[in-house]
Structure 1
Amino acid sequence: MMQRFKAALLLRRNPHFPRFLNQYRALCSLPDSAVTDELDDQVLVEGKPWSRTAILNRPSVLNALSTAMGARLQKLYTCWENDPDIGFVAMKGSGRAFCAGGDVVTLYHLINTGKMDDCKEFFRTLYTFIYFLGTYLKPNVALLNGITMGGGAGVSIPGMFRVATDKTVFATPETLIGFHPDAGASFYLSRLPGHLGEYLALTGDKLNGSEMIACGLATHYAHTARLPLIEEQLGKLVTDDPSVIETSLEKYSDLVSPDKQSVIKRIEMLDRTFCHDTVEEIIDALESEAGKTNDAWCISALRRFKETSPLSLKVSLKSIREARFQTLDQCLIREYRMSLQGISNQVSRDFCEGVRARMVEKDLAPKWDPPSLERVSEDMVLHYFSRLNEFEPDLELPTKLREAFT
């Protein structure tokens, strides 16, 4: 019953690298117990009589996800699911963000120092938790106040309830750093109305809270001032009944709709332009619309295409299209292959180059390889959907123990 309820509700990374090396050196000089305490502080726990709240706690980096955070979330959520005295769980972020995504700058430094096993562990840990969340047996409430991007969306959208606010900023901006929308993004983007998922995946454009409600990425909307009331009310509940939790959330929810300039109001035009089979055809359609109407939205979308990695555009489009016919676990296993290919530099160094240009050196002038769509071959794209080599294991998820999320 709960899985059906979740399915019905499902569609209704300025991360930086702050002090990582210094923190790492400092941690290495501490006793094991102190190291554990420091890592545990990245996810705090708030206890209520019948619920628990996980607090993502790296506010200086907009709560960017680390391997330690993924492991701790998995441990906590497993413990809470098995505890009969806990009816439901919640997640929120410290500071002005829910979560800006994975800590890709740390990944950049790990890649450049040859620590590929650590990179693989990051993706395994994060994707495994996302699958666990998508099959979770208790209600989960994510309070998406502030920046919610990339992996931050991954650790919230597969859950049962997602509360957006007037400060929520959602995006999957991975093509801007030479990567692909991952952490389950291909699954939920592919299930958005029309071809909105392709648009968000390829351009990295942002949505606000009202737009998230309109397209189904969020289940509830509340002004920021009401969040303390929502948290207080949730803390008083003694229940594991999703309908009771929904009634509580609705009590403090606000009715909103996107403004006239929103992409949500342009779904017909978006569908006409993003329905095509190739990135080149999509761009041609946008140019045709822009030429006929001089529409500002088309012009903005075309400008965004010029900022993104040509290889990432083609890889991401194929990913979204395949995801429409896959379950969550199938999407995560495929995304894991794609992510390992993206960080391996076998086909291209676009990920490292994108992170360097936008988040490390910040010259905002990435040199993509290949530099144009015409130079991206079909073999390059297909390579991203295969294992690194015949000995590289796929992501192992507990699909035999937990029902697949479709």
Structure 2
Amino acid sequence: MASTSEETDQVLVEEKSSARIITLNRPKQLNALSAAMVSRLLDLFLACAEDSSIKLIILKGNGRAFSAGADVAAVARNINQGNWKSGADYFAKEFTMNYVMATYNKPQVSFLNGIVMEEAQVLLYMVNSPLLRRIRVVALSSGKDGMRDVLSETKRRISGLTGARLDGAEMFKCGLATHFVQSERLTSLEEALVKADSSDPVVISSVIGEFSQIPNLKDNSAYHKMDIINKCFSRGTIEEIIAALEEEEAAHKDDDWISSTIQSLKKASPTSLKISLRSIREGRQEGIDKCLVREFRMVCHVMRGDVSKDFVEGCRAILLDKDKNPKWVPSKIESVSDQMVDRTSPK
């Protein structure tokens, strides 16, 4: 398994008994997955799958983030230089890693301590994090929220359209994390998992259970809005979703969450909203393999700018120039036709 120095520096590996501890080590970039990291992770998971002495994979991040997701800033820079195909190569390998991790033959435990997929809130492409698979331990640090800015994985219950921010307790309640552990106990938990020397998911879950707790939700948690979320986001179109939310806003004038959700939708790329809603709806009926094939085709069309240049514009406004003032084209939701969305999601 050949690796460059960049790959080994950005992804660290420790051998502890029958466990392999994999650490994302790009803390200044919030562990956003570079092309080198994706290559290294894919190689590691494939190699560990073939090594009978390895019983458990533990995945964590160095610094204040678990991972900010895909390094879309690098992809956008390449597109600006006329090289969208490098982005296609990047996502092809990342989606392959997605599939390997989602169908892996050995237990994986991810310590989701810190930021996950930050910065992605108004970007056009909403990529599923390949690191949120199997056993997911969410941590709470010194009484403060341990998880922020979770995007695509909130599609299941709190809509992925809004870029909703979830803390650790909300992730646990929504089923995005399987266990909730105080961050100061993670080192001890890691030691206990290594000591258990087991590949049995029941044993592993039992060990984690000794360190975990049931968290309390904040009074203003979005989780308390599930009735409104289910009612409004079950509508057929983005226009109908916003209209339903505005009806709720009129009926609940003191509800800041509804107002902020409406504003988030209206500030986002109209094209991204319609593409994302289509992807969410189609993905419900598909397995992981078909989802990844469909989303890869979609992201290639998005990067090429077949319908809209909003992916690059979102990256420019949020990640590159950082003026936080993206200029979407088309700028209005009603200007994005079904035919335009069809062009980004070919069968």
Q: Scaled by the length of structure 1, what TM-score is found?
A: 0.79
Checking the alignment, whether the CA contact within 8 Å between 1:310 and 1:371 is kept in structure 2 is yes
Over aligned residue pairs, what C-alpha RMSD do you find?
1.7
Matched AA of 2:139: T
The match for 2:8 is 40
Measured in 2, the distance between the counterparts of 1:371 and 1:120 equals 26
Q: Residues 2-401 of structure 1: matches in 2 within 5 Å?
A: 36-149=4-117, 154-157=129-132, 159-166=133-140, 167-173=145-151, 181=152, 185=153, 189-190=154-155, 192-193=156-157, 196=158, 199=159, 201-294=160-253, 295-386=255-346
Aligned length: 334
Deviation at 1:115, TM superposition (A): 2.0
Checking the alignment, whether the CA contact within 8 Å between 1:50 and 1:85 is kept in structure 2 is yes
* Structure 1 residues 99 and 152: alpha-carbon distance in aligned structure 2, compared to 1, 3 A threshold: farther
Checking the alignment, whether the CA contact within 8 Å between 2:307 and 2:340 is kept in structure 1 is yes
Checking the alignment, whether the CA contact within 8 Å between 1:280 and 1:373 is kept in structure 2 is yes
Measured in 1, the distance between the counterparts of 2:213 and 2:168 equals 11
Deviation at 1:153, TM superposition (A): 6.2
Deviation at 1:257, TM superposition (A): 2.8
Measured in 2, the distance between the counterparts of 1:344 and 1:84 equals 43
Give CA-to-partner distance per residue, 1:24-79, whole Å, 9 cap, x none: xxxxxxxxx9x911232111101111110111110010001011111111111111
Measured in 1, the distance between the counterparts of 2:258 and 2:134 equals 34
* Structure 1 residues 51 and 152: alpha-carbon distance in aligned structure 2, compared to 1, 3 A threshold: farther
What secondary structure sits across from 1:91 in the alignment? strand
What secondary structure sits across from 1:341 in the alignment? helix
Matched AA of 2:33: L
* Structure 1 residues 153 and 207: alpha-carbon distance in aligned structure 2, compared to 1, 3 A threshold: farther
Measured in 1, the distance between the counterparts of 2:270 and 2:313 equals 13
Deviation at 1:170, TM superposition (A): 4.3
Checking the alignment, whether the CA contact within 8 Å between 2:150 and 2:166 is kept in structure 1 is no
5+ residue gaps in structure 2? 121-125
Matched AA of 1:99: S
What secondary structure sits across from 2:235 in the alignment? coil
Checking the alignment, whether the CA contact within 8 Å between 1:67 and 1:121 is kept in structure 2 is no
Give CA-to-partner distance per residue, 1:327-360, whole Å, 9 cap, x none: 0111111110111111101211101111111111
Checking the alignment, whether the CA contact within 8 Å between 2:7 and 2:39 is kept in structure 1 is no
What secondary structure sits across from 1:156 in the alignment? coil
Matched AA of 2:44: L
Q: Scaled by the length of structure 2, what TM-score is found?
A: 0.92
Measured in 1, the distance between the counterparts of 2:287 and 2:210 equals 33
Measured in 1, the distance between the counterparts of 2:146 and 2:103 equals 25
Give CA-to-partner distance per residue, 1:256-294, whole Å, 9 cap, x none: 132221111111111121110000011011111111211
Checking the alignment, whether the CA contact within 8 Å between 1:96 and 1:145 is kept in structure 2 is yes
Checking the alignment, whether the CA contact within 8 Å between 1:66 and 1:103 is kept in structure 2 is yes
Measured in 2, the distance between the counterparts of 1:246 and 1:72 equals 27
Measured in 2, the distance between the counterparts of 1:276 and 1:261 equals 24
* Structure 1 residues 172 and 377: alpha-carbon distance in aligned structure 2, compared to 1, 3 A threshold: farther
Measured in 1, the distance between the counterparts of 2:246 and 2:89 equals 42
With 202-211 and 255-264 compared, the bigger mean Cα shift is at: 255-264
What secondary structure sits across from 1:222 in the alignment? strand
Measured in 2, the distance between the counterparts of 1:171 and 1:381 equals 26
Deviation at 1:375, TM superposition (A): 0.7
* Structure 1 residues 215 and 273: alpha-carbon distance in aligned structure 2, compared to 1, 3 A threshold: same
* Structure 1 residues 153 and 141: alpha-carbon distance in aligned structure 2, compared to 1, 3 A threshold: farther
